[in-house]
Amino acid sequence: MAKPVVAIVGRPNVGKSTIFNRMIGERLAIVEDKPGVTRDRIYGTAEWLDKSFHVIDTGGIEVDGEDEILRSIRVQAELAMDEADVIVFMTDAKAGVTTADQEVAELLYRRTDKPIILAVNKVDNLKRREDIYEFYNLGLGDPIPLSGAHGIGIGDLMEAIVKKFPEKEEEQYDDDVIKIALIGRPNVGKSSLVNAILGEERVIVSDIAGTTRDAIDTPFERDGQRYVIIDTAGMRKRGKVYESTEKYSVMRAMQAIERCDVALIVLNGEQGIVEQDKHIAGYAHEAGKAAVIVVNKWDAVEKDDKTMQRFTNEIRDQFQFMSYAPVAFVSAKTKQRLHKLLPIVQHVAEQHAQRIPTSVLNDVISDAVAVNATPADKGRRLKIQYATQVAVKPPTIVLFVNDPELMHFSYTRYLENRLRAAFQFEGTPLRLLARRKSDIE
């Protein structure tokens, strides 16, 4: 189930990044008292009570042209209206209501039916609290006073946000349907690849606004196996702003990842690997999804008999955290090797859902310990009492031990390698958790 998305919009230097950091509980955004300092495209996950949701800090969207600041925040607002479930419009009590605030408020009021929460930052003392009343003139309801610097009012803001979330829709697919998401940065050929897999040229609409949950899911069947391609909103949108705004393409990828079984991480064979490819792949890995690295546009690459091996070696070097993911070289344009892709998807989906009997699992762990003894620290040696698989998608194994702190990450990696040698687990992350038996009971 995809998590709701909250976008923070507002003119520069109202404290969007400070509030963003408070909401997600980490210092991710660069905070400095200078307009336009948030250059990184920032997205994070926040939790309030039992609700988890994505937060996007829209600072750093740069638009060339006259009156750049106004145009920039207008772009932020338009992107937020398309992508977010809830919009937080951030203003500044020190500055009062500005012309830019009025323009954005009018745009939000006129153009979207998404819930809008008006937040007034820098209400650092009682006198400033009186300054919030002028913000009623924006016509967006009751302003919520905040102080990002002192952490005041964050709980009220979070409470207001979660109350506005849409009702969750139940997933409508049977367990035997394999849900596929094609993820990757703009211009790697995701749309062409979808069309090539489906074997039909679909209309790619350019001017439909809507959240990711408005995206088109396309069910199809191949060789007796049922699939669904989760077509993210990003695949339907075009235009310079969408193509150049990394944070929104990543956010759409994250939402598609949450709903899928298998993530196809699409790379551009002509351009090679860039940093954003690794960021997007990292989300699939952290979400515990099965993955296939798909190198598209392979027809356009000048090749000799070692080109594929060189590219594979580079992928293994750059994506070391994903050494389990198979690599497929394809061309959406010429259909080269495309027939091999779905069998790989089916295979990794099966591996992702694989369950190992407890007795067999413990035999492998015992053999691994016999070959390479458990680590010791200050005279105390790690003892693995027994292991059991507690979940699939991804396969998750709990190791009951005398002291979890004695389980060094290098030994965890060694056990993972032994388990992969015994049971494959190709294309899927594998989670090993060390626990005391008493902690579970």
**353/355 Cα distance (integer angstroms):** 7
**Is 12 marked within a binding site?**
yes
Chain centre distance of CA 67 = 33
| Positive or negative torsion for Cα 96, 98, 101, 106 | positive
Phi, psi at 425, each rounded to 5°: 50, 40
**Is 48 marked within a binding site?**
no
**Is 232 marked within a binding site?**
yes
Helices 275-286, 246-259: axis angle to 10 degrees equals: 30
**Is 123 marked within a binding site?**
yes
Nearest Cα to 74, choosing from 121, 116, 136, 12? 12
Q: Are 432 and 391 in contact (CB under 8 A)?
A: no
**Is 124 marked within a binding site?**
yes
Q: For residue 372, how many other CB atoms are within 10 A of its CB? A: 12
In order, the DSSP letters of 118-153 are EEEE---SHHHHHGGGGGGGGSSSPPEE-BTTTTBT
**113/81 Cα distance (integer angstroms):** 9
**Is 60 marked within a binding site?**
yes
**Is 15 marked within a binding site?**
yes
**163/116 Cα distance (integer angstroms):** 12
**Is 63 marked within a binding site?**
no
**Is 417 marked within a binding site?**
no
**Is 288 marked within a binding site?**
no
**Is 14 marked within a binding site?**
yes
Phi, psi at 7, each rounded to 5°: -110, 135
**Is 427 marked within a binding site?**
no
**Is 187 marked within a binding site?**
yes
**Is 205 marked within a binding site?**
no
* Block residue for tokens 């200050």: 378
**Is 16 marked within a binding site?**
yes
**Is 58 marked within a binding site?**
yes
**Is 210 marked within a binding site?**
no
**Is 233 marked within a binding site?**
yes
| Positive or negative torsion for Cα 351, 253, 319, 264 | positive
Q: Are 91 and 133 in contact (CB under 8 A)?
A: no
Helix (H, G, I), strand (E, B) or coil at 271: coil
**Is 114 marked within a binding site?**
no
**Is 241 marked within a binding site?**
no
Nearest Cα to 182, choosing from 253, 133, 94? 253
**Is 437 marked within a binding site?**
no
Cβ neighbours of residue 110 closer than 8 Å, sequence gap 6 or more: none
**Is 308 marked within a binding site?**
no
Q: Which residues are annotated as a binding site?
A: 10-17, 57-61, 121-124, 184-191, 231-235, 296-299
Q: Which residues are annotated as a binding site for GTP?
A: 10-17, 57-61, 121-124, 184-191, 231-235, 296-299
